[in-house]
């Protein structure tokens, strides 16, 4: 988070000098960019201001508020029984969702790229549905099928299975969309060579294809993990929010925020929990960035 | 045609049955996980009859909620489009140091919990927040009001326009602009006549995605809006109120169907846009 809080001041003041004097060679467009320089500076100022007001200062406020009570208050907030069970539930569900997606998402991507059939275009579009649906809509959609008046007689309200199904729905596209382009760009010569030398289909996949797509699988699964960890809207209806059973981390944060008995303390506790969630988001983002660089290097 | 395309990758003949099994499993998984629940929702939205559906959707409070959603989404998308496009030019063309960091920071909001987004905005813009007191004494209420909802919506749709435009800017390069400049075109002419037409499809795709995201935001808006019926209640919040507070599941299904329809339209629109862009994803 230190990176995030320092960022607003850094680029803005340097922009004029760096843009103009010190690095003229980086401007391949030469005079074209040279004349745009005041516009570039103005743009940089605007974007920095926008990013700071909307994202960076608010996130800094979370960190400052969460740390306000000191280390012991922070530890108390994130290790209370309710907090521990909510964080453990969210982490466990997210891990499960990431693992399922690593396998299923890769398989779906494989079928879409390597086994086109009549209707695979439609399948490709259906994969986008979970991203396009608002989270609360996903929640209602889940209730329509797995709610108290379920037409198939399966009521998952207030169960962890219900949470898992909702999260699998929400995170379906992540791994598919990271693996699909890598698989499509993959040169098949190596596979054919391996097959002509007698390697079985499974061996070809494990030894030739898998090593190339592993970074993409890992970054897709990480994104699914991050999304599942902070998810709220699609779970709020099906979870029933039962403390220590189906209360996920973001629901606990919201509960603390709405708690009016001692608003200052409970807001501080909410911010402490939010720090944990934010830290995980940043870690995942860094991991994905590194994985994608690794993947890009492999492709040359 | 499909056979011809796939045969080189199937060196062993008997793999064809395995292939069919995998294909069937994939289709079944997606059908049960996604198509079945959405289909059941559509059925339940219309099961009480078309009249009940129309009544639920045209209820004054629901209509008001749709208007609030439209207002918040349009303002935030307009701002995101302007700032997001500027950010895209900076990342793709400025050659300034720190642009990788800017790109990474723009991606951060996607993986932040919406509830944390709401909390973060309250801590800064709420009446006891860092700037909230000063803004309120200046007569500007942010939290529990439209500006706060716009902020929350911008936060969650932050990178969509930028991420759509950057790849196209990078791929196109600046050759055409340089040629135009050598022929004496001014910066404004170069932008309106060459750069903008080149990125138009990508820009529209980004705007459509941002619009869909803005219409659908729930968690962050829930926290900052206060969810006052008939005032700060958006369409997504209306769904929640109808289901949880008013205990009218059928009305909730009806309003939900409208949001599902918007989402499906978004998929169709972006798919058509991508095709017109030449199949680049």
* Three-state secondary structure string covering chain A: CHHHHHCCCCHHHHHHHHHHHHCHHHCCCCHHHHHCHHHHHHHHHHHHHHHHHHHHHHHHHHHHHHHHCHHHHHHHHHHCHHHHHHHHHHHHHHHHHHHHHHHHHHHHHHHHHHCCCCCHHHHHHHHHHHHHCCHHHHHHHHHHHHCCCCCCCCCCCCCHHHHHHHHHHHHHHHHHHHHHHHHHHCCCHHHHHHHHCCCCHHHHHHHHHHHHHHHHHHHHHHHHHHHHHHCCCCCHHHHCCCCCCCCCHHHHHHHHHHCCCCHHHHHHHHHHHHHHHHHHHHHHHHHHHHHHHHHHHHHC
Scan for tokens 């507070």, then name that residue: B245
Give A 193-252 residues with CB within 8 A of chain B: 195-196, 200-201, 204, 223, 226-227, 229-233, 236-237, 249-251
Confidence of residue A2 (pLDDT cuts 50, 70, 90): very low
Mark whether A183 and A210 lie in a shared domain.
Answer: yes
Nearest 5°: CA angle at B97, between B91 and B98? 70
Mark whether A190 and A61 lie in a shared domain.
Answer: no
Domain range holding A168?
74-299
pLDDT of residue B20: 87
Mark whether A204 and A275 lie in a shared domain.
Answer: yes
Q: Which two tokens stand for residue A20?
A: 């103009």
pLDDT of residue A10: 34
Q: What percent of chain A has pLDDT over 70?
A: 87
Scan for tokens 């898998």, then name that residue: A210
Which of B9, B267, B271 is closest, CB to CB, to A188? B9
Confidence of residue B15 (pLDDT cuts 50, 70, 90): low
> What is the C-alpha end-to-end distance of chain B, expressed in Å?
23
- A137 CB neighbours in chain B (<8 A) are 216, 236, 239, 256, 259-260, 263
Which of B27, B187, B239 is closest, CB to CB, to A137? B239
Give A 84-103 residues with CB within 8 A of chain B: none
pLDDT in tens, A54-64: 999 999 999 99
pLDDT of residue B175: 87
Confidence of residue B96 (pLDDT cuts 50, 70, 90): confident
- A28 CB neighbours in chain B (<8 A) are 95, 174
User: Of the residues A30, A48, A68, which one is the last residue of a structural domain?
Assistant: A68
Ranked by mean pLDDT, the top range of A23-27, A64-68, A105-109 is A105-109
Mark whether A78 and A36 lie in a shared domain.
Answer: no
Mark whether A105 and A158 lie in a shared domain.
Answer: yes
Q: Which two tokens stand for residue B45?
A: 């939205």
Minimum Cα–Cα distance from B21: chain A residue? A111
Class of domain B49-276: mainly alpha
Task: Kindly report the average pLDDT of chain A as a whole number.
Answer: 85
Q: Examine the pLDDT at A17 and tell me if it is beyond 50.
A: no
| Range of weakest confidence among A33-42, A89-98, A205-214, B225-234 | A33-42
pLDDT of residue A299: 55
Does any CB of chain A come closer than 8 Å to the CB of residue B25? yes
Residue, of A111 and A261, whose pLDDT is higher = A111
Residue, of B81 and A293, whose pLDDT is higher = B81
CB B73 within 8 A of CB B214: yes
Cβ-defined contact of A35 to B102 (cutoff 8 Å): no
* Sequence-ordered list of residues with C-beta below 8 angstroms from that of A271, at least 6 positions apart, any chain: A62, A63, A65, A66, A68, B119, B123
CB burial of residue B61 (10 Å; 0-12, 13-18, 19+) = middle
Q: What is the ipTM of this complex?
A: 0.87
User: Of the residues A31, A48, A68, which one is the last residue of a structural domain?
Assistant: A68
pLDDT of residue B31: 94
Confidence of residue B185 (pLDDT cuts 50, 70, 90): confident
Cβ-defined contact of B94 to A33 (cutoff 8 Å): yes
Mark whether A60 and A127 lie in a shared domain.
Answer: no
CB burial of residue B171 (10 Å; 0-12, 13-18, 19+) = exposed
Q: Examine the pLDDT at B10 and tell me if it is beyond 70.
A: no
Q: Examine the pLDDT at B173 and tell me if it is beyond 80.
A: yes
pLDDT in tens, A155-180: 999 999 999 999 999 999 999 999 99
pLDDT of residue A13: 36
CATH number at residue A161: 1.10.3720.10
Mark whether A48 and A94 lie in a shared domain.
Answer: no
Mark whether A85 and A44 lie in a shared domain.
Answer: no
Q: Examine the pLDDT at B156 and tell me if it is beyond 50.
A: yes
Interface test with A, best of B26, B32, B160 (most A CBs within 10 A): B26
Minimum Cα–Cα distance from A44: chain B residue? B90
Mark whether A38 and A108 lie in a shared domain.
Answer: no
Mark whether A190 and A265 lie in a shared domain.
Answer: yes
Mark whether A93 and A44 lie in a shared domain.
Answer: no
Query: How many CB pairs below 8 Å do chains A and B form together?
Result: 297
Mark whether A83 and A153 lie in a shared domain.
Answer: yes
Confidence of residue A298 (pLDDT cuts 50, 70, 90): low
CB A159 within 8 A of CB A147: no
Our CA-based measurement puts residue A196 at a distance from the nearest CA of chain B, in whole angstroms, of 8
Does any CB of chain A come closer than 8 Å to the CB of residue B228? no
Task: Kindly report the average pLDDT of chain B as a whole number.
Answer: 88
Does any CB of chain B come closer than 8 Å to the CB of residue A187? no
Confidence of residue A3 (pLDDT cuts 50, 70, 90): very low
**Average pLDDT of the residues in B83-110:** 88
Q: How many domains does chain A have?
A: 2
Q: What percent of chain A has pLDDT over 90?
A: 58
Residue, of A174 and A7, whose pLDDT is higher = A174
pLDDT of residue B281: 41
**Average pLDDT of the residues in A124-139:** 93
């Amino acid at each position: 988070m230190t990176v995030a809080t320092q960022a607003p001041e850094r680029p803005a003041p340097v922009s004029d000098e760096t843009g103009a004097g010190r690095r003229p060679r980086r401007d391949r467009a030469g005079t074209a960019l040279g004349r745009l320089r005041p516009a570039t500076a103005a743009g940089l100022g605007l974007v920095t201001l926008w990013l700071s007001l909307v994202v960076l200062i608010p996130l800094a406020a979370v960190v400052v508020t969460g740390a306000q009570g000191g280390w012991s208050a922070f530890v108390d907030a994130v290790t209370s029984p309710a907090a521990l069970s909510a964080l453990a539930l969210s982490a466990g569900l997210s891990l499960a969702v990431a693992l399922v997606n690593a396998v299923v998402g890769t398989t779906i991507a494989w079928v879409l790229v390597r086994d086109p059939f009549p209707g695979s275009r439609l399948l490709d579009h259906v994969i986008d549905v979970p991203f396009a649906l608002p989270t609360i809509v996903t929640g209602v959609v889940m209730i329509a099928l797995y709610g108290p008046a379920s037409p198939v007689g399966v009521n998952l309200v207030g169960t962890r299975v219900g949470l898992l199904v909702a999260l699998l729905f929400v995170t379906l596209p992540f791994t598919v969309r990271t693996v699909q382009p890598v698989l499509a760009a993959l040169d098949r010569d190596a596979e054919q060579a391996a097959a002509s030398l007698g390697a079985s289909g499974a061996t070809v996949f494990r030894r030739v294809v898998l090593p190339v797509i592993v970074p993409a699988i890992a970054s897709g699964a990480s994104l699914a993990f991050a999304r599942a960890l902070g998810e709220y809207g699609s779970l709020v209806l099906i979870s029933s929010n039962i403390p220590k059973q189906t209360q996920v981390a973001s629901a606990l944060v919201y509960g603390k925020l709405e708690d009016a008995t001692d608003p200052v303390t409970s807001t501080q506790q909410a911010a402490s929990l939010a720090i944990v969630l934010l830290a995980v988001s940043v870690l995942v983002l860094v991991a994905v960035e590194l994985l994608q660089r690794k993947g890009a290097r492999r492709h040359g | 045609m499909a056979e011809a395309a796939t045969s080189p990758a199937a060196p062993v003949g008997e793999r064809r049955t395995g292939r069919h099994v995998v294909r069937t499993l994939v289709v079944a998984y997606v059908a049960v996980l996604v198509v079945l629940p959405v289909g059941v929702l559509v059925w339940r939205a219309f099961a009480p009859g078309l009249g009940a559906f129309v009544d639920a959707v045209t209820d004054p409070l629901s209509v008001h909620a749709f208007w609030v959603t439209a207002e918040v989404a349009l303002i935030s998308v307009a701002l995101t489009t302007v700032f997001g496009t500027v950010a895209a030019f900076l990342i793709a063309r400025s050659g300034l140091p720190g642009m990788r960091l800017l790109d990474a920071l723009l991606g951060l909001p996607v993986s932040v919990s919406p509830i944390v987004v709401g909390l973060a905005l309250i801590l800064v813009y709420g009446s006891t927040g860092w700037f909230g007191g000063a803004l309120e004494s200046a007569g500007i209420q942010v939290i529990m009001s439209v500006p706060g909802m716009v902020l929350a919506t911008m936060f969650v749709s932050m990178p969509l326009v930028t991420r759509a435009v950057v790849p196209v800017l990078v791929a196109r390069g600046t050759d055409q602009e340089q040629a135009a400049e050598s022929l004496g075109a001014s910066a404004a002419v170069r932008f309106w006549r060459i750069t903008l037409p080149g990125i138009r499809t990508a820009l529209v795709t980004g705007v459509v995605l941002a619009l869909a995201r803005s219409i659908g935001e729930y968690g962050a808006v829930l926290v900052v809006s206060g969810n006052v019926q008939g005032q700060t209640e958006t369409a997504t919040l209306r769904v929640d109120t109808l289901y949880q507070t008013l205990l009218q599941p059928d009305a909730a299904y009806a309003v939900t169907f409208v949001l599902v329809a918007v989402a499906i339209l978004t998929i169709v629109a972006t798919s058509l846009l991508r095709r017109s862009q030449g199949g680049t994803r």
